[in-house]
Amino acid sequence: MSLNDCGRHNRFLRALRRLPVDTTPIWVMRQAGRYLPEYRASRQRAGSFMNLCRSPEMACEVTLQPINRFELDAAILFSDILTIPDAMGLGLEFIEGEGPRFARPLRTLESIAALGVPDPEVELRYVPDAVRLIRRELNNRVPLIGFAGSPWTLACYMVEGGPTERFAHIKGLMWDHPQALHQLLDVLTQSVKLYLEAQIRAGAQAVMLFDSWGGVLAPGDYREFSLPNLRQLAQSIDRGPDQVPIIIFSRGANGHLEALAQTGADALGIDWTVSLSEARARTGGRVALQGNLDPAAMYAAPESLRLQVDLLLRDYGSAPGHIFNLGHGITPDVNPEQMTVLVNAVHEFGKRQELLA
């Protein structure tokens, strides 16, 4: 695949490198997810969410479902950010209606000191295996994105043991035992590095770091406990001969866009609470931007949804380096027909934007 010709197989990677494209590329966070009836059928057949992740065949099947149904410009590996802590022995379960839970959350300094770095080709072998299979099945129709959770976000889940609104345990650790938290973040940084390198070797054509809980930190804490590990990853991951681009999505951390643009990442995911024109101004053309329609726009009438897409593309303007996405994952009760409306609107209006460039 050459970077010089354009079209569905290539416009996502070109936009990540801030090269001109024929129209704005689009993919959607959680595009392989519960809003799709074919996903729900696969999930049912697998018996559990983790069975879906652990079977390369099933992960491949659900990864391709949205690609076969919609004119999306990238596929994203079907998996979960918690595969790494699971491989570290914390005992991951997904409880219906509650989300992920660890049987053995980290609640002592000893349990942190005892953690090892999982070998992605051994304990997490099913992930590079899935990447290889998906690449073969995609057959270069669209590029494949690999991903991992950020060290801070993984640490939140591992210490809290599951979803939380209060972050009492992880922040208690942060303030009372900052060195222990740094030790945990270091092990996670090394684990994420090896994990993403394994995905890249297996064929991932871009990788994304999900810092889903970056936004719960006060600015000083963010600069100490999330940002440095993101920077270290962006600068140390071996990107292979194709120099695979790295996308960082630090949700709710819009106060830190300037700093994030200087981590070495090629692109930033942007949530919907900042405008793309402001994000562009604040990141100074250093990175591509991925986002950022309010996910609730998928509940609006088709004509309202099209209007929101139009406004968003006009706000971004005509510079290269925009990948359209929602500002957060697509929600399970969205009508799949709305994805067709969304994708068509982006490609239609994105083409016009390109003519304006």
C-beta separation of 357 from 24 below 8 A: no
- With CB under 8 A as the contact rule, the residue among 96, 110, 333, 337 that binds a copy of itself is 333
> Does residue 97 touch a copy of itself according to CB under 8 A?
no
Residues 6+ apart with CB under 8 A from 179: none
> Does residue 22 touch a copy of itself according to CB under 8 A?
no
What's the Cα-to-Cα distance from 328 to each of 184, 200, 295, 334, rounded to whole Å?
A: 27, 24, 6, 13
CB of 186 to a copy of itself, least distance (A): 21
- With CB under 8 A as the contact rule, the residue among 111, 275, 340, 344 that binds a copy of itself is 275
CB of 305 to a copy of itself, least distance (A): 8
Burial of 84 (0-12, 13-18, 19+ CB in 10 A): buried
> Does residue 6 touch a copy of itself according to CB under 8 A?
no
Residue (244 or 305) nearer to a copy of itself, CB: 305
Lookup result for tokens 């069975």: 51
Q: 289: which strand partners?
A: 268, 322
> Does residue 171 touch a copy of itself according to CB under 8 A?
yes
CB of 149 to a copy of itself, least distance (A): 20
* Helix-helix angle 337-356:302-316, to 10 degrees: 30
- With CB under 8 A as the contact rule, the residue among 219, 240, 285, 317 that binds a copy of itself is 219
Tokens at 121, concatenated: 């080709």
> Does residue 272 touch a copy of itself according to CB under 8 A?
yes
Considering only residues 222 to 261 of the shown chain, the ones binding a copy of itself according to CB under 8 A are 252, 254-255
- With CB under 8 A as the contact rule, the residue among 109, 299, 336, 354 that binds a copy of itself is 299
- With CB under 8 A as the contact rule, the residue among 89, 105, 162, 215 that binds a copy of itself is 215
- With CB under 8 A as the contact rule, the residue among 166, 179, 337, 355 that binds a copy of itself is 166
What's the Cα-to-Cα distance from 56 to each of 46, 79, 125, 167, rounded to whole Å?
A: 12, 10, 10, 33
Q: Which stretch binds a copy of itself (CB under 8 A): 29-37, 141-149, 242-250, 307-315?
A: 307-315
- With CB under 8 A as the contact rule, the residue among 6, 19, 274, 319 that binds a copy of itself is 274
- What is the side-by-side order of every strand in the sheet holding 75-76? 75-76, 144-149, 206-211, 246-250, 267-269, 288-293, 322-326
Tokens at 309, concatenated: 């897409």
Count CB atoms within 10 A of the CB of residue 185. Answer: 21
Catalytic annotation, residues: 30, 34, 43, 80, 157
CA separation for the pair 51, 170 (Å, rounded) = 29
Give the type of residue at 332: P
Residue (89 or 252) nearer to a copy of itself, CB: 252
Residue (100 or 203) nearer to a copy of itself, CB: 100
> Does residue 297 touch a copy of itself according to CB under 8 A?
yes
CB of 167 to a copy of itself, least distance (A): 5
At 101 the three-state DSSP class reads strand
CB of 314 to a copy of itself, least distance (A): 11
CB of 222 to a copy of itself, least distance (A): 8
CB of 303 to a copy of itself, least distance (A): 9
- With CB under 8 A as the contact rule, the residue among 221, 224, 310, 348 that binds a copy of itself is 221
Torsion over CA of 48, 66, 64 and 3, rounded to 10 degrees? -140
Helix extents (H) in the chain = 11-16, 37-46, 49-54, 56-69, 83-85, 109-113, 126-138, 151-160, 168-176, 178-202, 219-225, 227-236, 257-260, 276-283, 302-316, 337-356
> Does residue 310 touch a copy of itself according to CB under 8 A?
no
Residues that bind a copy of itself (CB under 8 A): 166-169, 171-172, 175-176, 215-221, 252, 254-255, 272-275, 278, 294-297, 299-301, 304-305, 307-308, 311, 315, 327, 331, 333
